[in-house]
Amino acid sequence: MPETIVLLDMTSPERADRLRALLPPGFVLIHGTARGDEHMKEIIAEADYAISGQVGVSAEVLRAAKKLKLLHKWGVGYDNIDIAAAKELGITVARTTGSNAVPVAEFALGLTLSALRFIAYGHAELKHGHWATGKLPGDTFMLSGKTVGIIGFGAIGQSLAKLLKGFGCTILYSKRQPLDAETEAAFGARYASLPEILAQADVVSLHCPLTPETANLIDAAAFKAMKKTAVLVNVARGGVVNEADLVAALRAREIAGAAMDVFSVEPLPADSELLTLDNLVVTPHLAAMAADNFAPTVKRMFDNMARVSRGESVPARDLVV
């Protein structure tokens, strides 16, 4: 009898077919067709394996699973999964460590350029028939030669540092444990404290996980410490930035601009104040999505499920609990 994999996120029939084309023998796949815990509880009930892309997975949803062996994060950040409940219930949790590093780093670079040069603003204005030359919300700045502060220097932050080398940027980074001098030299980066990064960086790019220590890390005090010409880029997690303080800082022009791909509430509500700002670029959590990265990541998830099916362990690099 085939084992069932459920994708908890809503997806299109076409995308589901792409997933099914990569399934190992002996597995079938179903997927979400509505939002919310009640629907997830229904579809996870008889599943052997589950995949979470962007949806959060609560203890209540996990307890509805009668025979779940493995919950796999499609990506890296698992802050919206109740890990304690999974551990209590004996459900293995895994992720695809490093799988989206290059796509997310490239997207962060794109957001940076858009925020510095008002690319998204000019695009939106022209779509409405407005030739915005000379009427931009602020000054535009080049990225070349600027100081970029990367907060969180794992696989994504390091991939961004590699991309920035071509722009001749000075790269500062912050992480729990500084790298050794040889590794720093390879990335062309220098360790700096958060206050140093905020004071010196022309671009502050967030790549840290959401933890109790990083929640609201970038708040009113942080914005006041940044250069008035600086931009903030967030492709990490929405909760790392205090969004009310961001709105206030952008309206007061305490910083020049920002670009956000992640938000404290997703999908972003249509009445969010973030949508009213002309010096903020917003995208709907797109950074990890790249068609040419789809198959390698999906095959890795399915391979981990096949391992569990054979009674083997998930590789250490992907194991969460």
Which of 15, 18, 39, 285 is the catalytic position? 285
Which of 196, 266, 273, 307 is the catalytic position? 266
Is residue 237 part of the annotated active site? The answer reads yes
Contact criterion met (CB below 8 Å) for 156 and 133: no
Q: How many helices (H) and strands (E) does the chain have?
A: 12, 12
Which of 237, 243, 254, 300 is the catalytic position? 237
DSSP letter (8 states) at residue 265: S
Contact criterion met (CB below 8 Å) for 317 and 303: no
Is residue 39 part of the annotated active site? The answer reads no
Is residue 285 part of the annotated active site? The answer reads yes
| Exposure b/e, 220-258, CB count within 10 A at least 16 = b | eebbebbbeebbbbbbbbbbbbbbebbbebbeeebbbbb
Q: To which H or E segment does residue 204 belong?
A: strand 203-206
26 vs 43: CA distance, rounded Å:
19
The residues that are catalytic are 237, 266, 285
